[in-house]
Structure formats: C-alpha cells, structure tokens
Amino acid sequence: MKLIQSTLDEDTESIKVKFVTCQKPDMSVFTPRQLKIIDEILFTYKEVTPSLMSSISHVIDEPWDMTVRKKGLKQQIDFNLALKPTDPVTPKEAELKMRERREMIHNFPFELSSNAQQG
C-alpha cells in the first residue's frame, strides 16, 4: 500500500490522501458472507468523504462521544452503548452473547484457511 497526495480539501483545509494498493488483494481469505458484507459497505459508503464519515461516527451522545466523555480518547467503545430501548436485545442479553463469543474464541482459536470461503 502506498499513499498519494491527491488535492487540498477546501472545506477542511487539509490535504486529501489516496491509499493505493501495490498488489491485488487476496480475497480468498473471506467467506461468501464476509464478501457480501464488504460489497454492501462499499456500496453504502462509496460517496462518503472522510470528513463526513468522521462527523457521522462522532455524533454527540452516541457511542464514540459517550466513551470519550466517560473514559477518554482511544478507549474501547462498549457495544451496549449502541443499544436503544426499542431494540429487541437487552443490554444484559447482548453482554451474555459477547461473553460467550469471547469464551468461544479463547477456547477454540482458529486460523483462516483457503477452505474458509466454503463456510
């Protein structure tokens, strides 16, 4: 990967930088489900600028802002902060699922292989 200076962003007065790959990525490490998610994210955010993405992800009283105010910068964001009272999953249920996931990963470490795309 290399960085190429692109243009000056008039809105933020910062230099735009492009990330350019030096070789074609090995997409075989992803499952079909992961590839579908990647495609959906690319489609959803293809026109979004970094400035807009930052403002979207740093909304006041949302998870990032709440974490910075309570814990400080560069701290892990609690997934439960994204839950709303109308969500079908309670914070307690979400925490239980996350704990089970962490235990599973700890007890059954795995490596992606070329067979991963079959899952």
Name residue, tokens 């999953």.
89
Name the more confident of 119 and 13.
Answer: 13
How far is it, in rounded angstroms, from Cα 95 to Cα 76?
15
Amino acid 107: pLDDT: 87
Q: What is the DSSP letter of 22?
A: S
**Which sequence spans correspond to the domains of the chain?**
59-107
Whether 33 shows a pLDDT value over 80: the answer reads yes
Whether 114 shows a pLDDT value over 60: the answer reads no
- Sign of the dihedral defined by the CA atoms of residues 82, 83, 84, 88, in that order: positive
What would the mean pLDDT of 5-19 be, rounded to a whole number? 69
Amino acid 27: pLDDT: 93
Name the more confident of 33 and 18.
Answer: 33
- The percent of residues in the chain predicted with pLDDT above 70, rounded, is 83
Residue 24 and residue 1 in contact, taking contact as beta carbons nearer than 8 Å: no
